[in-house]
Structure 1
Amino acid sequence: MNSVSAKIKINTSINASHVRYQILFLLFVITSINYADRATLSIAGTVLQKEMGFDAISMGYLFSAFGWAYVIGQIPGGWLLDRFGSKLIYGLSLFLWSVCTFVQGGLGFAHPESAFAILFFVRFMLGLVESPAFPANNRIVATWFPTAERGTATSIFNSAQYAAVAFFAPIMGWITHSFGWEYIFLFMGGLGIVLSAAWPRLMHNPKTHPRVNAAEFAHIQLGGALVDMDSKAKAVPVKLTFADIKLLLSNRLLLAAYVGQYAITALTYFFITWFPIYLVQARGMSIMKVGFVAAVPAICGLLGGLCSGLISDGLLRRGISLTGSRKTPFILGMTLASSLVLCNFVEKEWMVIAIMALAFFGKGLAAIGWAVISDVSPKQITGLTGGIFNAIGNIAGIVTPIVSGYIIVFTGSYDGVLIYVAAHAVLAIFAYIFLMGPIYRLSLKSK
Structure 2
Amino acid sequence: MKTTRVRYGMLALVFVNVVINYLDRSNISVAGPALSKDLNLSSVDLGYIFSAFGWTYALLQIPGGLVADRFGPRVLYAFCLATWSLSTVFQGFARGFASLFALRLATGAFEAPSYPINNRIVTSWFPDNERASAIALYVSGQFIGLAFLTPILVTIQHYAGWQGLFITTGLVGLVWAIVWYALYRDPLDHKTVSDAELAHIEAGGGHFRGQTAKTDGTSIWQWVNLKQVFSRRTLWGVYIGQFSVNAMLWFFLTWFPTYLVKYRGLDFIKSGYLASVPFLAACAGLLLSGFVSDRLVQQGRSVGAARKTPIIIGMLLSVSIVGANYTDDTALIIFFMSLAFFGSGMALISWVFVSLLSPRHLIGLTGGVFNFMGNLASIIVPIVIGYLAKDGDFKPALVFIAVLGFIGACSYSFLVGKVERGTVTPASDTAALLSERE
Q: CA-to-partner distance for each residue in 1:244-295, whole Å, 9 max, x for gaps? A: 3222112011000100110111111100100000000121112211111111
Residue 77 of structure 2: which of 90, 102, 108 is its match? 90
Deviation at 1:311, TM superposition (A): 0.9
Residue 76 of structure 1: which of 49, 63, 66 is its match? 63
Number of residue equivalences: 425
1:425 corresponds to which residue? Answer: 405
Output the CA distance in 2 between the equivalents of 1:232 and 1:297: 39
1:69 is matched by which residue type in structure 2? T
Residues 111-190 of structure 1: pairs in structure 2 closer than 5 A = 115-190=96-171
* 1:99 matches 2:79: no
Deviation at 1:333, TM superposition (A): 0.7
1:213 corresponds to which residue? Answer: 194
Q: CA-to-partner distance for each residue in 1:383-430, whole Å, 9 max, x for gaps? A: 111001101110110000000000011x42110110001111100111
Greater shift, 230-239 or 117-126, is seen at 230-239
Output the CA distance in 2 between the equivalents of 1:311 and 1:249: 30
Output the CA distance in 2 between the equivalents of 1:319 and 1:177: 52
Contact 1:165 1:294 in 2 (8 A): no
Output the CA distance in 2 between the equivalents of 1:231 and 1:194: 24
Aligned structure 1 segments of 4 or more residues deviating by more than 6 angstroms? none
Secondary structure in structure 2 of the residue aligned to 1:211:
coil
Output the CA distance in 2 between the equivalents of 1:330 and 1:141: 20
Secondary structure in structure 2 of the residue aligned to 1:106:
coil
Q: 1:267 to 1:229 in 2, by over 3 A?
A: farther
After TM superposition, the score normalised by the length of structure 2 is 0.94
Unaligned runs of 5+ in 1: 1-11
Secondary structure in structure 2 of the residue aligned to 1:238:
helix
Output the CA distance in 2 between the equivalents of 1:229 and 1:269: 35
Residue 262 of structure 1: which of 243, 247, 258 is its match? 243
Unaligned runs of 5+ in 2: 426-438
Secondary structure in structure 2 of the residue aligned to 1:368:
helix
Greater shift, 271-280 or 177-186, is seen at 177-186
Residue 389 of structure 2: which of 408, 413, 433 is its match? 408
Deviation at 1:232, TM superposition (A): 5.1
2:212 corresponds to which residue? Answer: 231
Deviation at 1:229, TM superposition (A): 3.8
Q: CA-to-partner distance for each residue in 1:355-403, whole Å, 9 max, x for gaps? A: 1111111111111211111111111111111001101110110000000
Greater shift, 195-204 or 56-65, is seen at 195-204
Contact 1:376 1:441 in 2 (8 A): yes
1:223 is matched by which residue type in structure 2? G
Deviation at 1:58, TM superposition (A): 0.1
Output the CA distance in 2 between the equivalents of 1:431 and 1:352: 28
1:281 corresponds to which residue? Answer: 262
Output the CA distance in 2 between the equivalents of 1:243 and 1:52: 47
CA RMSD, Structure 1 to Structure 2 (Å): 1.4
* 1:372 matches 2:362: no
Residues 256-405 of structure 1: pairs in structure 2 closer than 5 A = 256-405=237-386
The percent of aligned pairs where both chains have the same amino acid is 40
After TM superposition, the score normalised by the length of structure 1 is 0.93
Output the CA distance in 2 between the equivalents of 1:152 and 1:275: 28
2:170 is matched by which residue type in structure 1? G
Output the CA distance in 2 between the equivalents of 1:241 and 1:402: 34
1:421 is matched by which residue type in structure 2? I
